[in-house]
Amino acid sequence: MGLMKGFRRGRAPFAIRLGDWVFALWGKRWGGRKWVRWGWYLSLVVGRVGAQLTPVRGLHEGQPTQVVLTGVHVWLGPGKVLPEAALWIAEGKIRQVGPAGSFPVPPGVVSLPYPRGTWVYPAFVEVCLLEEQGGRGGSASDRPQYESTRHPLFYPNEAVRLDFAAETSVVLSAEKARELRRRGVAVVHVAPKKGIVRGTGATLALLPTPASPEKPFLKGASILHAGFSKGAVAQEYPTSKMGAIALFRQLLYDWLWYREVGRLQLRNAALDRLEALSRDTLRWCWVAETPEDAFRVAALMREWAQSGPQRWALLATGYEYEWLPYLPDQGLYIVPVGLPVLPPPHSVEFYERLPLGALRRWEQAPFRFKWLVRSGRRVALTGQDLPDASTFWSHLRQLARTGISPDTLLLALTEWPAAWLGLPTVGRVAPGMEANLLVFSDTLWKEEARLLEVWVQGQRERLEAVPPFRLEGTYQVEPLGWRWQFGPGMPPLSTRLVVQADTYEVKVSYSAMEGYWAARLPAKLGQAEVHFIALSDSFLQGQLKQPGQPLRTWEARKIRPLDSLPAPKPPPLLREDSLVSRRTYPNGFYGFASPPPPERVLFREATVWTGDTVLAGVDVYIAEGKIRRIGRNLPVPPQASVIEARGRALTAGMIDEHSHIAIEGGVNEASDAITAEVRIRDVIDPTDINIYRHLAGGVVAVQLLHGSANPIGGQSACVKLRWGMPPDSFLIPDALPFNKFALGENVKQSNWGPAYTIRYPQTRMGVEQLLADAFEAARRYAESWTAYAQKKGPRPRRDLRYEALAEILAHKRFITCHSYVQSEILMLLRLAERYGFRVRTFTHGLEGYKVAPELRAHGAFASVFSDWWAYKYEVIDAIPYNAALLLKKGVPVCINSDDAEMGRRLNHEAAKVLRYGGAELGLDSLQAWRTVTVYPAQALGIDHRTGYIKEGYDADVVLWDRPTPLSVYSRPVFTFVDGRRLYDASREEARYAEALAEKQRLLEKAWKAAQEEAKGPPLLLRRAVLWDCEDLPSQTTSVR
């Protein structure tokens, strides 16, 4: 009856409440018998009794429930240390702490005296420990799995694992727990690794002997874990980082819809769980793969804030300091303690191939925590990237050598992570807090200090034997006539034994079981064994046992304190001014110490290619990022510099309509046939060296396109190449929004291999049907929102995929379509006219010359190669005269690169318009130049701000070393973007030499350091990927 009363009052255990729920649901089907309910309860009781039937062999284990630690120095917080204090532990909590004798201790409380100089700290909190769980789900077939195989009650993508709870699924082995305790960890938050939204973690107390399976789990904040790589999830979507971000965004809008109206139409266990978690102090913890992921997480959390304020943490790479002036400051950065180690020194040549950025990371790593804290970011530390406890302590002490306060390091290991996990009684030494303690032989920041004990909720685990007295100083041993010198520290330790005039190094150990000290003397002293006990810290008694000799007894008294012995020299501090590396934005060759500001520049007597005409001997003045004046003999404004440009061309910067540089985590979301929801803007990589190379070639803006793996691909990003700025700064906010469409063999997976034959469409005919069906669905989607706005229907679910397609039907979004064959170009033109929208750009369009009248009538742009043909059978009818023929027929033509290398010489590609047919057809140099300036600006909807030299336009200009930019000998002298000088040929050699000298200094330092064996995480080597249209995310080409 008491059990049922407890249930009615809501205090019954979960398993009992579950049994009552099962009975209520199924009891009537089983005849309503009470034995069903009571059988469930009896099974629980029998299970608990069974756990008590195992006999105890040997002595029962037990620890006193109340103890007082005496004679210890206690760290209470920043600047607060209690010397020679007493600390009272009762029932797993700290009852009292204060100076010795400052509080009464009841009889029966066990007193634990510690040797002089022992320190006590709060035990550490591991804020995010990634643990594997489960294998690859889904089918074991080699064929791709496009649909979820889970029950419809779950979310329709297997990478969303909201039902997963580490508390019930992740098992932390006893060996792993012990290793964590040796690192000083008493509380750990275990996080899942599988999926995009990976489920909730579990916070455990690492009890040496937990009383029950439930005991280790702590109730704190509900923390959902997420990442950009799905791990061992079988379902294809997502295959890219931008797909992972799109999936997370769709989850947000599904939840907002579900909590408002969706639950009235269907039930979804995943969204129900998200709703329940959101009411319970929900927090997010993300895993970063690159430093730029901090910007992506911050953007996602801002979007998620539609559902309420969000708290988030980032398990960081440790290199986020590379963007310190721009780094989001809302979240908690979980920074690795582990300092990266260099690869093994195979050869000098191998080291010379290491990128400059990687070498900088290696040298600057000890300072990264200090720099983040100094900038005002909230930081916690994690040691999970280190192989063992000894390495952890070594790396932690190295962080302290940078000059940061050791108190700050301790806060980042204790109080700050505990606060993030929602554990108010963990992380400090104070009355009422959990008795999670670390006992050190000395202050933990000394190299010789050792962790002696770990206390977890009042349970004591001894890691090393603690003698009752600390032996320090010089002892006179009689009647042997020896002098024995003991330095600071705890056993085992190295001592010096002086026998007559000779000094010997002798290793001394202590046995807690036997209660005595032991040492083996060197061979010159007869390989004797010495055993002794310490009756105090100044009086020893022992025995000397030599082979073949009678046992001899001796006594030793301290004759000289430790202060008279030379103290060990502390390791030198690491100074920032001793670094041979620089910090630049971005990190690597040609980065800026700080982004250049907009300049005031007067170009004097330039040959100006305005986009409409060519003017000789004209002055152009730029200031505050804009073109201010154009004219002759302009006066020099105040604070303006003058660049003599006589005989040189001044042009608008070139624009590449089709580029795949500066994209991270995959150029294709290569899973579904329709992926209109994914966005390139989410994965801009501002560190790609190809950005700088494009600037050196005179390119100032590009459209970053999704690849051609799907008939309907992702959303493009129109960006300016703002080298040295964070990813969000690249976007041109008022550019037209585009989606990439694709036709031809790529989208029907002709060249994907034998496994990829099940995704629709597999033929060119099927591509047309898929497009028509998608636009029909988008039309119905738009109509449902119109009905809702007119209060004629329920609120629809926001579908990011069909929202993009509906925007195309509404002329708010535009298409750039990968196309080769004229029949498919005509098919898409007719389809667009059927649904009342315009295809703005056909990219590639290698058979465009066959359908030039139709393209002109439709109002489409053609974005083409200058002279690519015959590189695969699909382009067998391609000709290099395509661009000139299209221009002659009145079709505006953009010359694009679709290639990182070609993008560096886009002016040469434009010149080929004249080489192949332009002269014969009467085209002039200005018309050829417009293919890389005016026409791409018009195609992208940015011709109101760039692409021309006009007053009021953005100062995106290039000064060339010749009067024409179309010569094969022409090279940019300066490239300005928004008035910032981002490329300067006159400083190119000096900047390169400076970076090369820096790398040489780093190589010398690295080669010397590599001769010493070191443990730690591997050095981060960023992969610079040269994407092509058909590339999949696993394909990489080089390292930076």
Are 608 and 650 a contacting pair, CB within 8 Å?
yes
Give the integer Cα–Cα distance in Å for 515 and 207: 27
Q: Is 84 exposed, middle or buried (0-12, 13-18, 19+ CB in 10 A)?
A: middle
The DSSP secondary-structure symbol of 242 reads: H
Q: What is the mean pLDDT of residues 18-45?
A: 42
Cβ-count burial 239-255 (b if 16+ within 10 Å, e if not):
bbbbbbbbbbbbbbbbb
At 119-139, the pLDDT tens digits run 999 999 999 999 876 555 555
How confident is the model over 361-370, as pLDDT tens digits?
999 999 999 9
Cβ–Cβ under 8 Å, residues 940 and 916 = no
3-state class (DSSP) for residue 542 = strand
Inter-residue contact 702 to 684 (CB < 8 Å) = no
Q: Which of 897, 240, 1002, 982 is nearest to 586 (CA)?
A: 982
Q: 502, 537, 560: which is the final residue of a domain?
A: 560
In a domain, 22, yes or no: yes
Q: How far apart are CA 925 and CA 914, in angstroms?
A: 7
Conformational region of residue 1016, where left means phi above 0, alpha means psi within -120 to 50, and beta covers everything else: left
Mean pLDDT for the stretch of residues 655-664: 97
At residue 263, the pLDDT reads 85
Q: What is the mean pLDDT of residues 493-501?
A: 84
- The residue from 560, 584, 600 where one domain ends is 560
Q: Which of 358, 322, 318, 1025 is nearest to 665 (CA)?
A: 1025
d(CA 839, CA 769): 17
Q: What is the DSSP letter of 270?
A: H
Give the pLDDT mean for 332-336.
98
Given this model, what pLDDT does residue 1002 score? Answer: 94
Quick one: average pLDDT of 240-267? Answer: 94
Lowest mean pLDDT among 2-6, 420-424, 652-656: 2-6
Which of the listed residues 560, 588, 614 is the one where a domain comes to its end?
560
Q: Structural domain of residue 32, as residue ranges?
A: 2-48
pLDDT digits 0-9 by tens, 594-624:
999 999 999 999 999 999 999 999 999 999 9
Q: Which of 332, 335, 320 is nearest to 396 (CA)?
A: 335
- The string of pLDDT tens digits covering residues 430-476 is 999 999 999 999 999 998 899 999 999 999 999 987 788 888 889 99
Residue 857 has pLDDT above 70, yes or no: yes
Does some domain include residue 546? yes
Per-residue pLDDT, 39? 43
Q: Are 935 and 923 in contact (CB under 8 A)?
A: no
**Rounded Cα–Cα distance for residues 274 and 297 (Å):** 19
Amino acid at 661: I
pTM here? 0.89
Report the pLDDT value the prediction gives residue 133, as an integer from 0 to 100.
67
Of residues 806, 811, 835, 807, the one with CA closest to residue 941: 811
| CA 845/CA 432 separation, integer angstroms | 74
Separation in Å, CA 893 to CA 814, 861, 864:
17, 6, 7
pLDDT of residue 876: 94
**Are 357 and 587 in contact, with CB atoms under 8 Å apart?**
yes
* Cβ atoms of 676 and 801 closer than 8 Å: yes
Q: List Cα–Cα distances, 742 to 318, 660, 770, 825, 993, in angstroms.
A: 39, 15, 12, 10, 44
Q: Comparing C-alpha atoms, which of 702, 706, 641, 630 is closest to residue 675?
A: 706
Which pLDDT band holds residue 211 (cuts at 50, 70, 90)? low
Which pLDDT tens digit goes with each residue over 171-201?
A: 788 899 999 999 999 999 999 999 999 999 9
pLDDT at position 139, please? 54
pLDDT of residue 572: 84
What pLDDT is recorded for position 26?
41
Sequence-distant (6+) residues with CB within 8 A of 324 are 371, 372, 375
User: Which segments of 261-309 does DSSP mark as H helices, in order?
Assistant: 269-278, 293-304
Arithmetic mean of pLDDT, 882-899:
97
Query: How do residues 506-519 score in pLDDT, each as one tens digit?
Result: 889 888 777 788 99
Q: Could you please report the per-residue DSSP string of 827-875?
A: HHHHHHHHHT----EEEE-TTGGGGHHHHHHHT-EEEE-SS--SSSGGG
Give the side-chain half-sphere CA count within 13 A for 241: 22
**Cβ atoms of 66 and 91 closer than 8 Å:** yes
Residue 63 lies in a domain: no
3-class DSSP state of 224: strand
Helix (H) or strand (E) holding 217: none
Does residue 307 have a pLDDT over 50? yes
Close Cβ partners of 684 (under 8 Å, ≥ 6 residues apart): 662, 663, 664, 704, 717, 719, 727, 730, 731
DSSP state of 905: G
**pLDDT at 30 > cutoff 60:** no
One DSSP character per residue, 146-173 reads -S--S-TTS-SSTTB-TT-BHHHH----
Provide the pLDDT for residue 41. 40
Partner residues linked to 190 by β-bridges: 129, 202
Residue whose entry in the numeric block shows the structure tokens 């205090």: 11
Rounded Cα distance between 563 and 326, Å, is 50
Average pLDDT of the chain is 89
* Mean pLDDT calculated for residue range 408-432: 97
Domain count, the chain: 2
User: What confidence category does residue 42 fall into, taking pLDDT thresholds of 50, 70 and 90?
Assistant: very low
pLDDT on residue 195? 95
494 located within any domain = yes
Lowest mean pLDDT among 394-408, 547-561, 737-751: 547-561
Instruction: Tally DSSP H helices, then E strands, for the chain.
Output: 24, 43
Residue 989 confidence (pLDDT) = 92
Task: Identify whether the C-beta of residue 1016 lies closer than 8 Å to the C-beta of residue 365.
Answer: no
Classify 662 as helix, strand or coil.
Answer: coil
Q: Is 525 strand, coil or helix?
A: helix
Give the position of tokens 């993508």. 157
**pLDDT above 90: percentage of residues in the chain:** 71
DSSP 88: E
Q: What was the pLDDT predicted at 526?
A: 77
Closest CA to 697 of 973, 981, 1038: 973
Indicate whether 984 pLDDT > 90: yes
Q: Residues near 506 by Cβ (< 8 Å), separated by ≥ 6? A: 494, 495, 496, 497, 519, 520, 521, 522
768 pLDDT more than 50: yes
Q: What is the DSSP letter of 680?
A: G
pLDDT at 679 over 80: yes
Select the more confidently predicted residue: 690 or 18: 690
Q: Which residues in 779-818 are b (16+ Cβ under 10 Å) and which e? A: bebbebeeeeeeeeeeebbbbbbbbbbbbbbeeebbbbbb
Query: Does residue 675 belong to any structural domain of this protein?
Result: no
Nearest to 365 by CA among 1009, 1013, 1038: 1009
Q: What is the pLDDT at residue 525?
A: 80
φ/ψ of 118, rounded to 5, equals -80, 140
In this prediction, residue 968 has a pLDDT band, given cuts at 50, 70 and 90, of very high
pLDDT at position 2, please? 41
Strand partners, 287: 227, 315
- pLDDT of 758: 92
Kindly state whether residue 425 falls inside one of the protein's structural domains: no
37 inside domain:
yes
Measured distance CA(428)–CA(364) in Å, rounded: 31
Mean pLDDT highest for which of 31-35, 148-152, 756-760, 853-857? 853-857
Per-residue pLDDT tens for 83-120? Answer: 999 999 999 999 999 998 889 888 889 999 998 889 99
pLDDT over 90 at 913, yes or no: yes
Query: Any idea which of 289-303, 334-348, 413-427, 434-448 has the lowest mean pLDDT?
Result: 334-348
Question: 57-71, 200-214, 247-261: which has the highest mean pLDDT?
Answer: 247-261
Report how far residue 970's alpha carbon sits from residue 918's, in angstroms, rounded to the nearest whole number: 20
State the sign of the Cα–Cα–Cα–Cα dihedral 304, 306, 312, 318: positive
The answer to whether residues 1030 and 746 touch, using CB atoms and an 8 Å cutoff, is yes
Mention every residue, 6+ apart, whose C-beta is less than 8 A from residue 569: none
Computed over its alpha carbons, how large is the radius of gyration of the chain? 36
Q: What is the pLDDT of residue 60?
A: 61
Cβ atoms 17, 37 nearer than 8 A? no
Does residue 653 carry a pLDDT above 60? Answer: yes
**Which one-letter amino acid corresponds to residue 757?**
T
For 629-658, what is the mean pLDDT?
Answer: 98
pLDDT for the residue numbered 502: 86
User: Could you tell me if residue 121 is inside a domain?
Assistant: no
